[in-house]
Amino acid sequence: MMVNTNKPIIVISSCLGFENCRYNGSIEQNEFIDKLRKYVEVIPVCPEVECGLTIPRNSIRIVEIDNKKELVQPKENKVITEDMINFSEEFLKKLNAVDGFILKCKSPSCGVKDAKIYTTFEKGRAIRREKGFFAESVLKHFPYTPIEDDGRLTNFKIREHFLARIFILCDFRNAKNSLDFEKLKKFHLKNTLLFLSYSQKYSRILDEFIYKDKVENLEALFKEYEFYLHRLLERAPRYTSNINVLLKSLDQFSDKITADEMKFIWSTIDKYKNGYVPFSVPLYLVKSYIIRFDLNHLMDQTFFMPYPEDLVLVNDSGKLIH
């Protein structure tokens, strides 16, 4: 499959707006994914259909017997574990480049954390929730690649972290493919503040690669840089780190604004600190002053917009701050 590698490459469950392939033959529309598809290259997949199940179909479930999990279709008295594993392995091995996955929540194949586990083919309560079979294979093959489900992505903070990661990883992938040190340096410098918000520790480590006196093996350098980049991006920035980077930016123009303006900025940051407003509120406020004072060295920083502004959705699950 030919894809535009300049955009983030995202594998998405086909039933999330691409194909009527759910067990009952339906499709599930998703506002976020509808917006996202304009900015990314999508590889749609329905593991259940790909491993031989029909549309529509009787539902499947994960059954655990004697500590062994099987993927079964109870009404057909059918075990499809091997078919699912074989398809997953074959599909994932063919992916030359991928920057993220969005999978269907609660699915026995695609559920990232919430697939129900049963102890019997018959009706009964689930004993716990965990990864679906396809999702488990994804995590094995791509342990550091962003993977989320449509349910978790209704949370603003999770969605923000996912978006930042896929666009950063896409940019890095293109720099890496070029094996051009100047492109890596440019990538690093425009992400300086964003990396600081994620982790001061790993940000300093990445700095060391960029400011080396001599680079002898570019391929090895890119590989090491990538290793620590993934470590840096593993966890979303803490609100305290976001505030620290905002204050670092504020220092660049604090002597150019009035006491009342400074007081308003501080009160807005305080509202974010106490969970009354999302991070975008103080972020846009500080950015407005960067534009006003024409601070070009800050204008280019991805910290102020790591992904297309159109993808900032205000509707949320309600757990949006920190």
| Type of residue found at 192 | T
Tell me how far apart the alpha carbons of residues 28 and 46 are, in angstroms, rounded to a whole number. 13
Tell me how far apart the alpha carbons of residues 176 and 85 are, in angstroms, rounded to a whole number. 31
261 in the same domain as 204: yes
311 in the same domain as 224: yes
103 in the same domain as 59: yes
149 in the same domain as 16: yes
Boundary residue ending a domain (91, 120, 154): 154
**Taking the chain, what is the end-to-end CA distance rounded to the nearest angstrom?**
39
206 in the same domain as 104: no
Task: Answer left, alpha or beta for residue 133, where phi above 0 means left and psi between -120 and 50 means alpha.
Answer: alpha
Q: With the C-alpha atoms ordered 125, 129, 135, 141, is the resulting torsion angle positive or negative?
A: negative
> Is 292 exposed, middle or buried, given 0-12, 13-18 or 19+ CB atoms closer than 10 A?
exposed
Q: What is the pLDDT of residue 316?
A: 57
Residue 39 lies in a domain: yes
Question: Which domain range does residue 247 map to?
Answer: 173-322
In terms of DSSP H, where are the helices of the chain?
31-36, 47-50, 81-93, 133-141, 156-178, 181-190, 192-198, 200-210, 218-233, 239-250, 259-273, 280-292, 296-299
Residue 180 lies in a domain: yes
Please spell the DSSP secondary structure of 104-159, one letter per residue.
-TT-TTT-SS-EEEES-SSS---SEEE--HHHHHHHHH-TTS-EEETTGGGSHHHH
Residue 2 lies in a domain: no
Boundary residue ending a domain (122, 154, 186): 154
179 in the same domain as 86: no
Q: What is the pLDDT of residue 63?
A: 96
Residue 1 lies in a domain: no
Q: Calculate helix-pair angle for 239-250, 280-292, nearest 10 degrees.
A: 10
Q: What is the pLDDT of residue 320?
A: 47
Collapsing DSSP to helix, strand or coil, 100 comes out as strand
Write out the two tokens for 192. Answer: 């300086």
Pair 167, 306: CB distance under 8 Å: yes
Residue 160 lies in a domain: no
pTM over 0.85: yes
Q: How many domains does the chain have?
A: 2
223 in the same domain as 84: no
pLDDT tens over the chain, length 322 residues: 556 689 999 999 999 999 999 999 999 999 999 999 999 999 999 999 999 999 999 999 999 988 999 999 999 999 999 999 999 999 999 998 999 999 999 999 999 999 999 999 888 899 999 999 999 999 999 999 999 999 999 998 899 999 999 999 999 999 999 999 999 999 999 999 999 999 999 999 999 999 988 888 999 999 999 999 999 999 999 999 999 999 999 999 999 999 999 999 999 999 999 989 888 899 999 999 999 999 999 999 999 999 998 898 655 554 545 5
Determine the longest span between alpha carbons in the chain, in angstroms: 74
274 in the same domain as 304: yes
Residue 163 lies in a domain: no
Give every CB contact of residue 121 below 8 A, 6+ residues apart in sequence. Answer: 63, 72, 74, 77
Collapsing DSSP to helix, strand or coil, 71 comes out as strand
Residue 210 lies in a domain: yes
Residue 238 lies in a domain: yes
Q: What is the pLDDT of residue 165?
A: 98
Boundary residue ending a domain (154, 183, 218): 154
